């Protein structure tokens, strides 16, 4: 009860902040019943009259509510199926920036996490240079003279998130219990996904592992790099990596002034992202321009690996096939890919689905390739699939959200970048490697490995089958034999069951007698 009251109070406060920012003004009043429309008008009396831009009302309210709500907003930006295109676009602009906490607190947290004095760990540790909802970053120098970046969690952030997530779960349970439309959106599952994401992001050892994994994936790629984690100076709440010297892509003027090739950089951003997603199935899911730097030699370097995305081989084939199918205007093939992947129920019509896809693809033929957004194409595709009962695929939604960000970064560097021309070599290479002769050979090799493992285990399988057959034959000839201990245990259980049954029988008889007596009196 106390827990429920605490959550209700916290949600009431959130509702007040939403009302002050005018968030409820974004609700379509005409779609509500009369009583709800009256309540909406009453709530809107709390709005501030400061002319706040409609596109920033929700993001402003979430920022005021703190770290947990900022993360909730960023997460919902990837779920257009829940919040719709308009709000998803607004939330995608939500900036995860907060004031830094003081230097002394940061030093104490780092020293405690690494169980050593700061003076023993570092030759120098500077003030914070960037701060977000979960952590902030300092520049430091190791005792061996290496320049490093040190990321440290905000004090108390785990406890704060735990309380807020508890309230999110409470709201989700209430929504599923009392709102039939809300059940289709599965709010409890949404909050569970957010909770898992936050737990991963708040264990900085996992971020170090993500950096290490991507470093292995891109080790042979020219023009792209990641920092190297310093495992000695890394713990659950602290992450140290080597320092990255470069210009952030957010500072376009500085990038131009340094003489970098802007069209090449734009193409590089798109190609590397697609290569990571399609070839490796592991991509940076927060690849905005503040997390990308250009080194002096023109290489791209990514930082902040707290949010990562994964695609299974089936997801990667799906992505490549639909991009290729739309390029070739083969809508039936794109439709069939959805059915083959199991994303659309077999009860739907492939031909009808292909017709809906044509409604997306044909208008693209009237535009130049430079005007076509792959991310928007995927977004429209997910809208159509909802009409055909396609279950939400969170990994694909995250991919589409990241593609929106990556395309924005590329077009900011080169407004004339041709997304299809730039992407074609990566898509074609993946198709040739996975769907061509090389791919068939690889599939055959994997099948041979499976068959080999089965053949190796075959003698053991046959021996077990033979023992099972002998036991069955013995039971048929002589019946089932039990040892004395088992017989005694069965007897005790049966006796207990019999006593319980008798008690229940007497209770039932007495109850029936009482009812009968009351009836005839």
Q: What is the DSSP string of 189-254?
A: HHHHHHHHHHHHHT-HHHHHHHHHHHHHHTTT-TTEE-PPB-GGG-BTTEEEEEPPPSEETT-HHH
Residues ≥6 apart with Cβ < 8 Å to 441: none
User: What DSSP character marks residue 436?
Assistant: S
Q: Where are the alpha helices (DSSP H) in 280-391?
A: 313-328, 331-340, 350-361, 374-387
Element spanning 294, H or E: strand 292-294
Integer Cα distance of 479 and 472 in angstroms: 9
How many CA atoms lie less than 13 Å away from 323 in the CB half-sphere?
Answer: 26
Torsion of CA 399, 402, 408, 413, to 10 degrees: -100
For 5, the token pair is 């009251």
User: What DSSP character marks residue 23?
Assistant: G
Q: What is the largest CA-CA distance in the chain?
A: 105
Helix (H, G, I), strand (E, B) or coil at 134: coil
How many CA atoms lie less than 13 Å away from 423 in the CB half-sphere?
Answer: 26
300-302 and 224-225: which strand pairing?
Answer: parallel
The residues that are catalytic are 286
Residues ≥6 apart with Cβ < 8 Å to 174: none
Integer Cα distance of 278 and 282 in angstroms: 8
For 222, the token pair is 């020219």
Element spanning 309, H or E: strand 308-310
Give yes or no for a contact between 242 and 228, defined as CB atoms under 8 angstroms apart: yes
Helix (H, G, I), strand (E, B) or coil at 153: strand
User: Tokens 């831009």 — which residue?
Assistant: 53
φ, ψ of residue 246 to 5 degrees: the values are 175, 180
For 163, the token pair is 């309380």
User: Tokens 């676009």 — which residue?
Assistant: 89
How many CA atoms lie less than 13 Å away from 254 in the CB half-sphere?
Answer: 10
How many CA atoms lie less than 13 Å away from 85 in the CB half-sphere?
Answer: 9
- How big is the chain, counted in residues? 521
219-236 as b/e, with b when 16 or more CB fall inside 10 Å? eebeebbbbebbeebbbe
């Amino acid at each position: 009860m106390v827990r429920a009251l605490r959550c209700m109070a916290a949600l009431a406060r959130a509702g007040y902040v939403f009302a002050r920012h005018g968030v409820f003004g974004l609700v379509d009043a005409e779609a509500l019943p009369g009583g709800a429309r009256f309540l909406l008008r009453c709530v809107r009396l709390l709005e501030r009259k400061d002319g706040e831009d409609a596109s920033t009302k929700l993001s402003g309210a979430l920022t005021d509510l703190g770290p947990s709500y900022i993360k909730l907003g960023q997460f919902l930006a990837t779920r257009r199926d829940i919040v719709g295109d308009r709000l998803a676009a607004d939330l995608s602009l939500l900036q995860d920036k907060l004031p830094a906490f003081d230097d002394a607190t940061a030093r104490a947290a780092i020293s405690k996490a690494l169980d050593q004095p700061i003076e023993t760990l570092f030759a120098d540790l500077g003030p914070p240079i960037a701060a977000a909802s979960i952590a902030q970053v300092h520049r430091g120098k190791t005792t061996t003279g290496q320049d490093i970046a040190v990321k440290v969690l905000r004090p108390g952030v785990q406890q704060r998130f735990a309380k807020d997530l508890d309230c999110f779960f409470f709201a989700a349970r209430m929504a599923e219990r009392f709102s039939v439309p809300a059940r289709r959106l599965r709010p409890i599952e949404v909050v569970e996904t957010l909770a898992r994401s936050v737990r991963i992001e708040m264990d900085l050892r996992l971020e170090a592992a993500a950096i290490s994994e991507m470093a292995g994936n891109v080790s042979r790629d020219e023009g792209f790099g990641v920092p190297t984690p310093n495992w000695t100076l890394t713990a659950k709440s602290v992450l140290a990596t080597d320092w990255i010297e470069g210009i952030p892509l957010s500072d376009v003027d500085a990038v131009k002034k340094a003489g970098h090739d802007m069209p090449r950089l734009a193409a590089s951003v798109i190609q590397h992202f697609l290569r990571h997603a399609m070839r490796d199935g592991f991509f940076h899911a927060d690849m905005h321009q503040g997390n990308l730097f250009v080194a002096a030699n023109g290489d791209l370097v990514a930082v902040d690996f707290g949010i990562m995305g994964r695609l299974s081989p089936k997801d990667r084939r799906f992505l490549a096939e639909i991009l290729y199918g739309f390029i070739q205007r083969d809508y039936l093939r794109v439709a069939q890919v959805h059915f083959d992947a199991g994303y659309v129920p077999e009860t739907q019509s492939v031909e009808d689905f292909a017709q809906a896809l044509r409604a997306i693809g044909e208008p693209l033929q009237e535009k130049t390739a430079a005007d076509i957004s792959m991310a928007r194409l995927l977004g429209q595709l997910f809208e159509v699939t909802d009409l055909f009962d396609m279950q939400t695929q969170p990994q694909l939604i995250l991919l589409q959200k990241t593609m929106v960000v990556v395309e924005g970064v590329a077009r900011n560097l080169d407004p004339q970048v041709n997304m299809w021309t730039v992407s074609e070599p990566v898509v074609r290479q993946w198709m040739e490697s996975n769907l061509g002769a090389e791919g068939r050979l690889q599939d055959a090799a994997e099948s041979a490995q499976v068959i080999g493992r089965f053949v190796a285990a075959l003698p053991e399988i046959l021996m077990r089958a033979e023992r099972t057959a002998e036991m069955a034959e013995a039971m048929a000839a002589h019946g089932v034999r039990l040892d004395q201990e088992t017989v005694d245990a069965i007897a005790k259980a049966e006796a207990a069951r019999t006593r319980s049954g008798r008690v229940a029988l007497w209770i039932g008889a007495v109850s029936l007698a009482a009812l009968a007596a009351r009836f005839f009196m």
